Amino acid sequence: MENTKTTWNIDPTHSEINFKVKHLMISTVTGSFEKFDGKVETSKEDFKNADFSFAAEIDSVNTNNKDRDDHLKSDEFFGAEKNPELRFKSKSFDGEKMVGDLTIKDVTKEVILNTEYNGTAVDPYGQTKAGFEIEGEINRKDFGLTWNAITEAGSVVVSDKVKLIASLQFIKQ
């Protein structure tokens, strides 16, 4: 019997891709990407071994501070002009851990993301939706996001560790 795959496209109005990074090692700054796209292809109800992929537009980064956002888009961080997107493509998903390749600034590294599948539901318009909570941590320097400064007291301005947090809803096609 042939194994048919179902495609699920990301529902941007019910999804968010956020990141958190320590500032001056005493507080946390949260940012998000406001423009992104993605899909899942699966042949199983529980999404095990499904193929996940998504891309976020670097230019859509938002930390609620224009100067900081402009700095993040500059070559000292994302270099949005030369590298307009960050991309992720999964290699495996066992229902709890997703392993895949994350590409930022033309650097691709394997990352492991803790993934919670929240189930499926039919919305009031008759569309079938699937929900996921995805979390992981990267070292930004692994991807060439190396800018930093040291305060007078000797603490770094931006930590190397960045938490990625995505709440994603997909629509069955």
- pLDDT given for residue 99 in this prediction: 98
Counting the structural domains of the chain, the total is 1
154 vs 124: CA distance, rounded Å: 55
Low-confidence ranges of the chain (pLDDT < 70): 1-2
CATH number, position 24: 2.40.128.110
49 vs 3: CA distance, rounded Å: 13
79 vs 142: CA distance, rounded Å: 15
Closest listed residue to residue 86, CA positions, set 94, 95, 77: 77
Q: How many CB atoms lie within 10 A of CB 5?
A: 11
Looking at the domain assignment, is residue 41 inside a domain? yes
Q: Which two tokens stand for residue 12?
A: 């941007």
Looking at the domain assignment, is residue 30 inside a domain? yes
- pLDDT given for residue 14 in this prediction: 96
153 vs 56: CA distance, rounded Å: 36
Looking at the domain assignment, is residue 1 inside a domain? no
Looking at the domain assignment, is residue 74 inside a domain? yes
Contact 58, 36 (CB under 8 A): no
What is the reported pTM? 0.92
Q: Which two tokens stand for residue 71?
A: 């700095």
Q: What is the pLDDT of residues 13-47, one digit of tens each?
A: 999 999 999 888 788 999 999 999 999 999 998 99
- State phi, psi for 30 to the nearest 5 degrees: -110, 135
Q: What is the domain range of residue 109?
A: 6-172
Q: 68 in helix, strand or coil? A: helix
